[in-house]
Amino acid sequence: MSLIHVLDDGTINKIAAGEVVERPASVIKELVENSIDAGAKRIEVEIMAGGTSFMRVTDDGCGMTMEDAQMAVKRHATSKIREADDLVTIGTLGFRGEALPTIASVSRFSMMTRRAGDELGTSVRITGDGEPQVEETGCRVGTTIRVEDLFFNTPARKKFMKTTHTEGGKISECLTKLALSHPEIAFRFISNNKVSMTTPGTGRLEDAITAVYGTQAGEALLTVGFEDTDVKITGFLTKPSMIRSSRNWQTFIVNDRLVESKSMSKALDNAYHSLLPKAGYPLAVLFIEVPQRSVDVNVHPRKIEIKFEDEGRMFKAVYKSVLDAIRPSGQKLTEVAAVVEHPERRYTMEGMTLNTAPAVPQNFHEERSSGMAQSFSSAVASGTVADMEAFAEAQQLVQMERRTENSSYAPTEAAYQEKVAEQPLIDMEMDRQLSMVPIGQVALCYIIAQDPESLYIIDQHAAHERILYDKFSRMADGIPSQQLLVHPIMSFGRQEMELLESHQALLHSLGFDMEAGGPQEVRLKAVPSDIPDSEAETVLRKIVEALLSMHSPTAAEIRHACIATTACRAAIKRGEELNLRQMQIILDELAHTERPYTCPHGRPTILRFESKDLAKMFKRT
Amino acid sequence: MKFNCSKNDLIQALQIAGRAVATKPQTPILSGIYMKASEGTLELQATDYEIGVVCKIEADVEEEGILVAPGRYFSEVSRNLPGNTVTLTNDNNDNTIHISSGSAHFTLLKMNSEEFPCIRPLNNASHFTIRDTVLKKLIRKTSFACANDETRLIFTGCLLELEEEAVRMAATNTHRLSLDQEVLEGYEGDKKQVIIPARILGELEHGLNSDIPCDVTVNISYNEISFSFDNLYLTSRLIEGQFPDYHRVIPSDFKTRVTIDTAAFMAAVNRVSLIARSSEYNIVKLDFSMGQVHISSNSPEIGHAEETVPVVIDGPDVQIAFNGTYITDVLKHVDTKEFYLSLNESLNPAAVRETEDEAFIYIVTPVRVSR
């Protein structure tokens, strides 16, 4: 007898169950996704004992005929695709046709379904490997599926289930994300006879977020809106003041499909960089729309992983959209300023050339300087009085020439920086009347300010720290690089080496110079001047790490810790008395930082009490 | 034990020995100064296990003996004594040291002298003698180039290289290298390389200040070095490791050689650095053309500085930028009125040499400035 034989269907289903049905939460996910694909408007999920003993999913979707219901519980039976080509353009959540049969094979399964036009519904019952029992029955429009005693016939897997509390938590987490991904569907989640979550199903994401995460989160939302030729990102983030301890609060939805993506989480982290204390993640719900063809969802049976055609581009899109969202609306003002700065600059440059042109005509100048070199060297060599005079004269000329060279950029730049700094201020006050007016200082630490609508409390140290951090960050670009006489040799992995080679230009601009020093070894030839030699290697390794997660670090980022410390030291401290003028300056400058909400260490800088908050505190509502 | 000695002699000896007293002693005894009185001399010893100092002064010894006094208090007390001579007595049955001078009298608790790790002369070591002036010059011209950064130990020391007829010292912090060489007479032995911690060289340079020329005897064992001269004996651990091959760092030829007035150039660089120093990196740009060097620095926050110094340029014009500190550091140790600055391109290392001393060379790497 042959040793190798084909497995029977029951065994195949149980093996498949290992991939698709890992725990009660995965059952819920599959079933709810089916409901969503069925066009449900309301979905109700009920579980007992964390889903281990009982799960029910009821929807008001399209339902099935008896024939379809019988087919549905067969393996690889699906209404969602017909042929392999359809895989490229999958729009529905499910498509493999594996979920129902595999769930049914490891539980006591029952399904009741009726289409809107039919008089009677269909009931299908399956217990483990048993044959399906199909009969007609009376039921509501839509589909109800009950799954009882999950894994009753696969004790090995049953053993791996965690406590009912944990499994219940997983289901809740999974449903939360599903609810967020479909704000147009009203979800209702009942656990152990208690309603634990409902969403209104209004179609507005902010309503869903408020319903799921509470009003506090709902009020701290920042809108994300980003559109490119083929990528569209919408959704909400919370202000950095509202952070969570784990990434569970981050939901990524790509083309209506919930996904987990390390690179997107990383993009989020990077964008919030310097805004958050170390242990914390922002809350985020991001909808990402890309052409169906540019993603592959058929990577994993549970479809939580997704492959993008251009992972790096997605990373950048997410990063940019998040960054735009967490920058204050004041950003618009600098755009206004940018328009003003161009004519301003041209004007100054013309001014400078006008000043110098009459003094030294161009051609005359050249003649003089060619003859000058000789008189210089002879002056130094012989040292006679006449020659020295010639030298002095020539030197004056050269200096003048240089001065014009320098002045053409240095003072101009200073002048235009001033303009940039001043211009938005005026604009802001005139355009918006949004000026925050300081009222006074409390405990020599907090500035109290107001505008017509709100009261603000600002931590003077944190605010100044943020202002200085931004200023120092801007200075971090263009730091000269110091060459090394003795070249340290660093070894890297193969992948890291490739990254280093392909990012030579970036590293060069950050001040690192290197050349290959052997297989998987590089010889470090220059390091940025301000980084101590002993730390250069650590910094370089950090850059490589960042590159590995497809993020190109900027000069300011690699110095984040250092800049933050410098800013902290230089900032005004608690206990320093400020007058109103000084407070006004801090408020104005803070308004112009890129991310005013927190100090570089992640503590909040500013608290706002709107009039309605105040009213609430005084019990006026 | 009992002795009388001149207060000034004692203070001087304590000053030298005090430098080897451990500031953060691993064991309390290392914070003490060991004293041994015998036959007209008082010997003082201090060590922190890294370096050790033995210093001898004349004293009128009435009763011989050994004791260890708490270093810091003994030094401070001695320095502030009113009289010109100091009398120190110690009763062997007692735990106290009595110090009296003029009208003042102090009693200090002594430390257990048996615990003190006495410094013993190096045995079985190769040795040579060198004139103090020569040794001092070698140290002065190289040790400044060492690194301060403790993470890479070998660069915190100077390389000492011995050959027949020649002694060389080299130091680098990986950005610049200073190398000097002198003739060495009477050394017979293998070519030898050791790395001496900059700290002991500093102490040695300090100690080599007598007006009367003398010879310094240097002993080198596998992990220690000692210097003895006059009434002083200094010893230190050597730094283990392989010093990088400095020959490879020195460019074989240069396209441009500039002759510059040392004092004028140093003063100018110092002035221009006033602006550059505002940032952590002190970048000074040098533009050599038309018989002069244009020195400039620019700090976006502060302003701009420039100055020109006449020079003699042999070769093509060069523009180059350096960390200003690396330039002024070496110029402080250039002894000739003029010096040569040898250059290639703006991103190649440059060399500083004295006009009259072929042996000394200083290599410095430029910085790459964006824009």
Q: Domain residue spans in chain A?
A: 9-198, 214-326
Q: How confident is the model at residue A17 (pLDDT cuts 50, 70, 90)?
A: low
d(CA A317, CA A225): 11
Please state which CATH number belongs to domain B2-115. Answer: 3.10.150.10
Instruction: Report the pLDDT value the prediction gives residue B6, as an integer from 0 to 100.
Output: 92
Instruction: Report the pLDDT value the prediction gives residue A152, as an integer from 0 to 100.
Output: 84
Chain-chain contact of A511 with B368 (C-beta, under 8 angstroms): yes
Closest CA to A199 of A211, A213, A181: A211
Q: How confident is the model at residue B313 (pLDDT cuts 50, 70, 90)?
A: very high
Instruction: Report the pLDDT value the prediction gives residue A343, as an integer from 0 to 100.
Output: 29
Upper half-sphere CA count for residue A34 (Cβ side, 13 Å) = 27
pLDDT of A351 above 60: no
DSSP 3-state of A126: strand
Chain-chain contact of A391 with B310 (C-beta, under 8 angstroms): yes
pLDDT of A349 above 50: no
Instruction: Report the pLDDT value the prediction gives residue B226, as an integer from 0 to 100.
Output: 92
pLDDT of A609 above 90: no
Mean pLDDT of chain A: 74
- Highest averaged pLDDT of the listed ranges A371-380, A546-555, B286-295: B286-295
| Chain B partners within 8 Å of A534 (Cβ) | 149, 151-152
Chain-chain contact of A380 with B172 (C-beta, under 8 angstroms): no
| Chain B partners within 8 Å of A478 (Cβ) | 369-371
d(CA A175, CA A47): 12
pLDDT of A3 above 90: no
Chain-chain contact of A533 with B367 (C-beta, under 8 angstroms): no
How far does the CA of residue A488 sit from the closest CA of chain B (Å)? Answer: 9
Instruction: Report the pLDDT value the prediction gives residue A89, as an integer from 0 to 100.
Output: 61
pTM beyond cutoff 0.95: no
Residue B313 forms beta bridges with which residues?
A: B258
List pLDDT tens digits, range A357-403: 333 444 444 444 444 444 444 444 444 455 556 556 656 666 565 55
Ranges A293-307, A477-491, B2-16, B104-118: which has the least confidence: A293-307
Residue pair B86/B37 in contact by the 8 Å Cβ criterion: no
Tell whether B332 is within 8 A of chain A (Cβ). Answer: no
Residue pair A174/A161 in contact by the 8 Å Cβ criterion: no
- Which single residue is written with the structure tokens 């190109």? A552
Start-to-end CA distance of chain A, whole Å, equals 84
Q: How much of chain B exceeds pLDDT 90, in percent?
A: 49
Any idea which fold B250-364 has? DNA Polymerase III; Chain A, domain 2 (3.10.150)
Tell whether B312 is within 8 A of chain A (Cβ). Answer: yes
Residue B261 forms beta bridges with which residues?
A: B338
Instruction: Report the pLDDT value the prediction gives residue A546, as an integer from 0 to 100.
Output: 75
Characterise A527 by phi-psi region: left (phi > 0), alpha (psi -120 to 50), beta (else): beta
Give phi and psi for A591, each to the nearest 5: -60, -20
| Chain A partners within 8 Å of B177 (Cβ) | 485
| Chain A partners within 8 Å of B151 (Cβ) | 534
List pLDDT tens digits, range A560-573: 777 778 788 888 88
Instruction: Report the pLDDT value the prediction gives residue A408, as an integer from 0 to 100.
Output: 43
Ranges A368-377, B94-103, B362-371: which has the least confidence: A368-377
Cβ neighbours around A358 below 10 Å, total: 7
Instruction: Report the pLDDT value the prediction gives residue B87, as an integer from 0 to 100.
Output: 92
| Chain B partners within 8 Å of A369 (Cβ) | 290
d(CA A463, CA A512): 33
Instruction: Report the pLDDT value the prediction gives residue B337, as an integer from 0 to 100.
Output: 93
Tell whether B245 is within 8 A of chain A (Cβ). Answer: no
Query: Mean pLDDT, to the nearest integer, of B224-236?
Result: 90
Ranges A299-308, B88-97, B142-151, B321-330: which has the least confidence: A299-308
List pLDDT tens digits, range A313-330: 788 888 888 877 776 554
List pLDDT tens digits, range A213-245: 877 777 777 888 888 778 888 888 877 766 676
Chain-chain contact of A486 with B298 (C-beta, under 8 angstroms): no
- Highest averaged pLDDT of the listed ranges A270-274, A391-395, A484-488, A555-559: A484-488
Instruction: Report the pLDDT value the prediction gives residue A24, as an integer from 0 to 100.
Output: 86
Please list, residue by residue across A144-164, b when 16 or more beta carbons sit within 10 angstroms of its beta carbon and e when fewer do: bbbbbbbbebbeebeeebeeb
Instruction: Report the pLDDT value the prediction gives residue A318, as an integer from 0 to 100.
Output: 82
Chain-chain contact of B368 with A475 (C-beta, under 8 angstroms): no
Nearest to A529 among B151, B176, B281 (CB): B281
Q: How confident is the model at residue A18 (pLDDT cuts 50, 70, 90)?
A: low
Tell whether B62 is within 8 A of chain A (Cβ). Answer: no
Residue pair A57/A32 in contact by the 8 Å Cβ criterion: yes
List pLDDT tens digits, range A502-537: 888 888 888 888 888 877 888 888 888 877 777 778
Tell whether B290 is within 8 A of chain A (Cβ). Answer: yes
Tell whether B248 is within 8 A of chain A (Cβ). Answer: no
Residues of each domain in chain B carrying CATH 3.10.150.10 = 2-115, 126-247, 250-364
Q: How confident is the model at residue A336 (pLDDT cuts 50, 70, 90)?
A: very low
Start-to-end CA distance of chain B, whole Å, equals 73
The H-or-E segment that residue A94 falls in is none
Instruction: Report the pLDDT value the prediction gives residue A472, as an integer from 0 to 100.
Output: 80
List pLDDT tens digits, range A63-93: 888 888 888 877 666 776 666 666 666 656 6
Mutation target to probe the B interface, by most B beta carbons within 10 A, among A407, A474, A529, A531 is A529
Chain-chain contact of B308 with A395 (C-beta, under 8 angstroms): yes
Residue pair B177/B170 in contact by the 8 Å Cβ criterion: yes
d(CA B57, CA B43): 7
| Chain A partners within 8 Å of B173 (Cβ) | 533
How far does the CA of residue B251 sit from the closest CA of chain A (Å)? Answer: 11
Chain-chain contact of A369 with B290 (C-beta, under 8 angstroms): yes
Residue B99 forms beta bridges with which residues?
A: B88, B106
pLDDT of B34 above 90: yes
Mean pLDDT of chain B: 89
- Total H helices, total E strands in chain A: 21, 25
Chain-chain contact of B175 with A372 (C-beta, under 8 angstroms): no
d(CA A575, CA B340): 55
d(CA B169, CA B74): 37
Count of pairs with CB atoms under 8 A, one residue in A, one in B = 108
Tell whether B368 is within 8 A of chain A (Cβ). Answer: yes
Give phi and psi for A187, each to the nearest 5: -100, 150
List pLDDT tens digits, range A434-488: 578 888 898 888 989 888 888 888 888 988 888 888 888 877 776 788 888 888 8
Q: Which CATH number fits domain A9-198: 3.40.228.10, 3.30.565.10, 1.10.1740.10, 3.40.50.10490?
A: 3.30.565.10
Please state which CATH number belongs to domain B126-247. Answer: 3.10.150.10
Chain-chain contact of B281 with A526 (C-beta, under 8 angstroms): no
CB < 8 Å & 24+ apart, contacts of A539-545: A540/A490, A540/A512, A543/A507, A543/A510, A543/A512, A544/A492, A544/A496, A544/A499, A544/A500
Tell whether B316 is within 8 A of chain A (Cβ). Answer: no
Tell me the CATH class for A214-326. Answer: alpha beta
Question: H/E/C letters for each residue in chain B?
Answer: CEEEEEHHHHHHHHHHHHCCCCCCCCCHHHHEEEEEEECCEEEEEEECCCEEEEEEEECEEEECEEEEEEHHHHHHHHHCCCCCEEEEEECCCCCEEEEEECCEEEEEECECHHHCCCCCCCCCCEEEEEEHHHHHHHHHHHHHHCCCCCCCHHHHEEEEEEECCEEEEEEECCCEEEEEEEECCCCCCCCEEEEEEHHHHHHHHHHCCCCCCCEEEEEECCCEEEEEECCEEEEEECECCCCCCHHHHCCCCCCEEEEEEHHHHHHHHHHHHHHHCCCCCCEEEEEEECCEEEEEEEECCCEEEEEEEECEEECCCEEEEEEHHHHHHHHCCCCCCEEEEEECCCCCCEEEEECCCCCCEEEECCEECCC
List pLDDT tens digits, range B48-70: 888 999 999 999 999 998 999 99
Which tokens is A535 given? Answer: 């730390």
| Chain A partners within 8 Å of B365 (Cβ) | 482-485, 526
Instruction: Report the pLDDT value the prediction gives residue B312, as an integer from 0 to 100.
Output: 94
The H-or-E segment that residue A189 falls in is strand A186-191
Chain-chain contact of A484 with B175 (C-beta, under 8 angstroms): yes
Helix, strand, coil shares of chain A, percent, nearest 5, are 50, 20, 30
| Chain B partners within 8 Å of A511 (Cβ) | 368
Query: Mean pLDDT, to the nearest integer, of A35-41?
Result: 86
